[in-house]
Amino acid sequence: MNDDRQLQKFVQAELGWEPSVTAAHIGVAAKDGVVTLTGHVGSYAEKHAAEAAASRVKGVKAVAEEIEVRLPYETKRTDEEIAASAIDRLAWDVFVPKDAVKVRVEKGWITLTGQVDWNFQKDAANQDLRRLFGVLGVSDQITIKPRVDVVDVTHDIEHALHRTWQFDRDKISVSATGGRVRLTGTVYSPHDKQVAAWTAWAAPGVTNVDNAIASPERAPQRRLAGLLGSEPRYADRSARNVIGRACPSAVPVNGNPKSRSPAMHGDSQLQKSVLAELSWEPSVTAAHIGATANEGVVSLSGHVGSFGEKHAIEVATRRVKGVKAVVEGIGVRLAFGHERDDDEIAKAALDRLAWHALAARPISCCTRPGRPRFARRLNTPEDVGWQVVGWQVVPARGSVLSP
């Protein structure tokens, strides 16, 4: 166990490493594993990023967050403007059910209410709004609809955890009573702990997850992972779930780099594991997807109703044990009522980015049928957009460095 002084230094170093946080404006105090953050930031998105960075440091038991959001003059918005942007953003998100989430804004503070069927829908609404300009905080009061036919999902969750790269068998214990799930055990990193919670939330009927898993080791952090990992940088992440978007400008398809996997599954078993994982993922309609496996290379085919669902399928497939690479041949067939013309898509994408507290500016967008492409002038090499050409990763066309 680190002493308080060492823990304070670790948290300060992690805040300095996090590119979306201005660490010089944040004070850190530590006592018996409880970290207190003070100071000020320029957006609620930065405040959330600071709390997340502190929480993932080894030795942190709890975070007391006392950071003040001081909005720069150019990012201030009225409550009416915030409410209108929030409603528009939710309406364009394919993962948020229509009219399921209600928005109230008071003095820059957003309160979300309503009911949804799945936790990923609740998370999507929260993530959509916490990065808006002018927002001082988000109170998420969305509830998950209870199910009267909930059974003991312990066995199903354990099977889902063991399918993925992150978890070794017998390292995690699952208990469930009705819709309440409790996770205990140990994992390799704080990220793996979060993945375990997401996996549990995917079980039908789950209304609460108590994540008591310990993460004794801290996985190494690299800035390059933010550029080339499973989650694209901020600008692309903002546009991914826009209704009407059929294809990305570029999609990395990577094999999973983790090396602690067991022996390679046979192709037949790997195919079954991938299909089971797709069926477990609540944001995916698995009946529309076909999967084949050949020496660890999984080929996906079929069709989905949105690019957000297509991306979720790729992520779900990559996390299955034994998957070396993914060949993605999924088509996007937009559901009736979700079609948008290119001008509407471009306008919605630019509106999202214009309200995004973390996206670099200025950003321009051009589209060809359902395919937004972004260009921007940037200040640092870390902000360059990237795309995959063949097997090479290169700066995206139109991404240039400011002199």
Distance CA 333, CA 246 (A): 8
Residue 196, pLDDT score: 85
Contact 62, 33 (CB under 8 A): yes
- Tokens encoding 395: 């700066």
Q: Which residue has the tokens 């079980």?
A: 203
Reduced to 3 states (helix: H, G, I; strand: E, B; else coil), residue 390 is coil
Task: Return the CATH class of domain 74-144.
Answer: alpha beta
Residue 260, pLDDT score: 37
Protein fold of 4-70: Histidine-containing Protein; Chain: A; (3.30.1340)
| Residues β-bridged to residue 290 | 301
Reduced to 3 states (helix: H, G, I; strand: E, B; else coil), residue 389 is strand
- Tokens encoding 263: 């022996």
Residue 10, pLDDT score: 92
Distance CA 373, CA 342 (A): 12
Distance CA 128, CA 131 (A): 7
CA-based radius of gyration for the chain: 21
Distance CA 388, CA 47 (A): 32
Contact 111, 85 (CB under 8 A): no
Residue 216, pLDDT score: 57
Count CA atoms closer than 13 A to 341's CA, side-chain side. 1
- Tokens encoding 164: 């993925």
CA distances to 172, 192, 196, 319 from 187, in Å? 8, 6, 9, 15
Residue type, 183: L
Helix (H) or strand (E) holding 64: strand 62-65
Mean pLDDT per 10-residue interval, the chain, length 403 residues:
82 92 92 92 92 88 91 91 91 89 93 91 90 91 76 77 73 82 82 82 84 63 37 43 50 40 65 88 86 90 88 88 88 77 74 64 53 46 39 41 37
363-368/68-69 β-pairing: unpaired
Residue 105, pLDDT score: 94
Protein fold of 247-332: Histidine-containing Protein; Chain: A; (3.30.1340)
Contact 301, 328 (CB under 8 A): no
Residue type, 45: A
